[in-house]
Amino acid sequence: MSEASQLRSIYDEVAKCNKCGFCQAVCPIFEITKDERSVARGHNVHIRKLIEGKLELNKELKDPLFECLLCMSCVDNCFPSVQTHKNVVRGRAEYIKRVGQPTILRSLFHNLLPDQKKMAKYVRLGAYGKNSGMSKLARALGVLKWFGKDFDKAEGIIERLPTLFFRDRAGDFTLAPENPTMRVGYFLGCGFNFVLPHVSESTVNLLVHQGIEPVIADNCCCGLPASSYGDLDAARSMARKNMDILERVGVDIIVTECASCASFLKDYPELFEDDPGMLARAERFSRRIKGFSEFIHDRMPTTEPTKIMQAKVTYHDPCHLCRYQGIVNEPRTVLTRLPGVRYVELPESDLCCGAAGSYNIMRYEQSMKILDRKMENLKKIEADILTTECPSCCIQLNYGVRRAGLATRVMHISQLMEEIYLGQSCD
């Protein structure tokens, strides 16, 4: 099938772009590059010309196609609401079909992320290498550049990696409250399991404190990384696997504290638009998904706080929460109800922090310029604690605070709640 016919299904969508240019004012990448190819109307023009046979899909289109953050800022400010983020993903899918996919990404999406035990072995190996100082040696020797031009610079984004993951320790936790009020499935995302397991601990502890029994599912990656890079076959395969696993758990609600996972799990129906049977199944499944603040905002603790906290707290909106899911008020409702918390709004709170999954690794310099803007906004309000609900955001914001020399603590909302109500700090 020709490249034009592969993309033809989105022709009407890209054709809706009237080239007004309003996307320029809100695109974090265009703000840095001032390159028309980086902005939404540039992406839509490229894809439209590909469909019309006026442009060849080659390596020259790779940079503009893959440097998009998929943050949806353009969509929010587009009068005809052109779904540019979806168009870009379809363009990426066509690119890897026509030009090819790096071997390392194919292995990641088809072999490691679908198999969490196998993934754990490789992440643990990487953790030992980083924590022992081997990664610094590799950076000095230039070895890390083999994985990408900015990979050696990005090595310092994470200070240390855990060698014991949340799933390794899940058996140590009391998951059954004395008098459970409800039972929910718990979807464990890769970022929290492998990099920030203490956040998962806080989430589970808080759910149990609330009388909720979390059933930890043996799920694999949600599939978002594969989809973002255009590998829709891998994303569909992981979606099928997760639906098989979570349907067997036998619960009406599935909770995850990862905004990105929640967003993509809810979007499973889009992966199966051409398969009526799977589409109906994915629609039923997606209705059961709840993000953390979405779930907890009307199930707030009624017990007295264990720790008396007096702190100025702010919040960063993850793109996959505020724009992809339209969840804006719920996290703020949670924060304003917490004892001892003085909530203050972060300027440009919904501006992408520049993490965008692995964007900060693959395009470090651009990511840091976006992050610097976020840190400048944080300095203006002098918050004690910066909260969010996405692992990539947590990692990126922590790095930003360290780079800027700020005393602000970066926490997931579940961590803050655990500290207040259970008196435990999981920094």
Residues of the chain with CATH 3.40.50: 311-422
Higher-confidence position of 263 and 131: 263
pLDDT at position 197 over 80: yes
pLDDT at 61: 83
pLDDT at position 142 over 80: no
Percent of the chain with pLDDT over 70: 93
Residues of the chain with CATH 1.10.1060.10: 3-98
Best CA proximity match to 197, nearest among 246, 124, 128 = 124
Would you give the end-to-end CA distance of the chain in angstroms?
Answer: 52
Q: For 178-189, write each residue's pLDDT tens digit.
A: 888 999 999 999
Report the range of poorest mean pLDDT among 63-72, 165-174, 193-202, 305-314: 165-174
pLDDT at position 147 over 50: no
Q: How far apart are CA 390 and CA 383, in angstroms?
A: 19
**Per-residue pLDDT band at 170 (split at 50, 70, 90):** confident
pLDDT at position 395 over 60: yes
Percent of the chain with pLDDT over 90: 77
List the structure tokens of 399.
């790095």
**Average pLDDT along the chain:** 91
Q: Render the burial of 120-147: b for 16+ CB within 10 Å, e for the rest.
A: beebbeebeebeeeebeebbeeeebeeb
pLDDT at position 133 over 80: no
Report the range of poorest mean pLDDT among 166-170, 225-229, 393-397: 166-170
At the top level of CATH, which class does the domain 311-422 belong to? alpha beta
pLDDT at position 112 over 60: yes
Element (H, E) at 368: helix 364-381
pLDDT at 3: 44
Q: How far apart are CA 207 and CA 199, in angstroms?
A: 12
pLDDT at position 165 over 90: yes
pLDDT at position 2 over 70: no
CATH homologous superfamily of 3-98: Alpha-helical ferredoxin (1.10.1060.10)
Range 236-262 average pLDDT: 97
List the structure tokens of 406.
């700020």
Range 353-357 average pLDDT: 90
pLDDT at 58: 79
Burial class of residue 394, CB neighbours in 10 A (0-12, 13-18, 19+):
buried
**Per-residue pLDDT band at 307 (split at 50, 70, 90):** confident
pLDDT at 426: 55
pTM summary value = 0.93
Best CA proximity match to 40, nearest among 50, 56, 51, 29 = 29
Q: For 42-69, write each residue's pLDDT tens digit.
A: 999 999 999 998 988 877 788 889 999 9
